[in-house]
Amino acid sequence: MKKQQNNHVPLSNNERIVNRTNQRRRRNRRKKIIIRSLVGVIFLFVGTILALTLFFNINKIVVTGDKVYSEKEVVEASDINIGDNLIFLSKSEIYDEITKELPYIGEVKVKRRLPSTLEIVVTKTEPYMATAQDGYYILLDKNGKVLERDLEIIGENVILASLGEINSYEVGEIISLKGEKVFTKLNDVITECENVGITEITSIDLSDIYNIKLVYQGRIKLELGETDNDNLNSKLSLGKAAIDKQNEENITYRGIINLTVDGKGYWSEEVSTTEPVTEENATEIPSENAENQDEESSTKAEESTKNQEEASTSAQ
C-alpha cells in the first residue's frame, strides 16, 4: 500500500508577509468596531442624562389628599424645591421627611407628572392610643407612631395602653419598646376585637404579654391571660357574648370576665384589682355549645312529657 503523498506546498516569504498583514488588518478592524460601539454607548448614556437633567426639572409642586396641614407646610417638609430634577428625586426620602416632620400625616405617595410637575398625595393618621411615661402621656396612632408627647390630658375615644418599658419616643417616629412582641400582640388583639364586634375598648394592658387585660367602656374588664392565634378569637367571642347578654339586663353593670381558661369564662362583681377571679368567687359563663345543649335537653324533656300525657289520655 502506497503512502499518501503530502501535497502541501510551503508558502513563500512574500505570501507569509501578505497573510500576516491581512490578519493584522482584520484585528484592527474589529478593535475599531468595538471602540466605536463603546463610544456610541457612552455618548447615548451621556446624552440621556443631559436630556433628563435639562428637560425634566420641577416647575410646579401640588399637594392633594387629606387637608391635615397647609400645602406650604407639606412642600417645605418634603425638602423639594422648584428646579430640582423630577426623575432623580427619591420617593422614600420624601416620604420619610414629610411623615417625620408632620406627624399627623400617615401615608405619602409621590407622583411624577411629566414633564415638570410633582404631585404629593397625603393621607392623615389619627390618635388611637396613649401610654403614660414619667407622669405624662405619649399620643400614638394605630401603628405606634408618636403624634405628640408630654401631654397632661388626652382626648376621648383614645385607648389608654400599658405597653411595658419604653426605650425611646420621638415625635414623628415609631415608639421603641423593650418588649419586641408587644406591638404584634397589640395588633392581634385589636384586629380580633374588631372582628368579633368589641369596638369600645377604653384601655388595654400589655405590660405582660402573657397576661393581657382589656377594659370595655371603662366598666367591664376582660382578663385574657395568655393568647395565641388559636384561642384569641374564641376568648374574645365568648367575652363579647357575655357582654351583650349582660348589657340586655343592666347597661351600667361593672364587673370582670375571666377568660384565662380556654373555652371557659367566669363573671365576677367588680373587686379589688389584686384579687384574682377564680371559680370560687365567680359565676361561670355558659359557652355557646353549652347553651345549645341546654336548649336541646329542654326540648327533649318537653317532648317526653307531651308523649307521656298523650299515652295517659289514650289509656283512659
Residue 239 has pLDDT above 60, yes or no: yes
H/E stretch holding 288: helix 288-315
Q: What is the percent of the chain where pLDDT is above 70?
A: 75
CA atoms within 13 A on the CB side of 172: 10
CA atoms within 13 A on the CB side of 201: 27
**Full-model pTM:** 0.71
| Cβ(287)–Cβ(263) below 8 Å | yes
Q: How far is CA 64 from each of CA 69, 71, 119, 120, rounded to the nearest angstrom?
A: 11, 8, 7, 6
CA-to-CA distance for 225 and 212, rounded, in angstroms? 5
Q: What integer pLDDT is reported at residue 142 of this predicted model?
A: 92
Q: What integer pLDDT is reported at residue 277 of this predicted model?
A: 43
Q: How far is CA 183 from each of CA 2, 70, 162, 191, 202, rounded to the nearest angstrom?
A: 95, 32, 11, 12, 17
CA-to-CA distance for 288 and 161, rounded, in angstroms? 30
**Lowest model confidence (mean pLDDT) among 57-61, 155-159, 277-281:** 277-281
Residue 105 pairs in a beta bridge with: 124
| Neighbouring residues of 239: CB distance < 8 A, sequence distance ≥ 6 | 198, 222, 257, 259, 265
| Cβ(169)–Cβ(175) below 8 Å | yes
Q: What integer pLDDT is reported at residue 296 of this predicted model?
A: 52
Residue 18 has pLDDT above 90, yes or no: no
Pairing of strands 117-124, 129-133: unpaired
H/E stretch holding 91: helix 91-101
Residue 271 has pLDDT above 60, yes or no: no
Residue 145 pairs in a beta bridge with: 174
Q: Which of 70, 69, 75, 146 has the alpha carbon at shortest distance from 110?
A: 75
Q: Retrieve residue 230's grid coordinates.
A: 388559636
Residue 46 has pLDDT above 80, yes or no: no
Q: What integer pLDDT is reported at residue 37 of this predicted model?
A: 74
Q: What integer pLDDT is reported at residue 309 of this predicted model?
A: 55
User: Averaged over 244-258, what is the pLDDT?
Assistant: 93
Q: What is the percent of the chain where pLDDT is above 90?
A: 59
**Cis before 115 (ω within 30):** yes
Burial class (CB in 10 A: 0-12, 13-18, 19+), 264: middle
Report the largest interatomic distance among the alpha carbons of the chain, rounded to a whole angstrom: 143
| Neighbouring residues of 21: CB distance < 8 A, sequence distance ≥ 6 | none
Q: Is 283 helix (H, G, I), strand (E, B) or coil?
A: strand
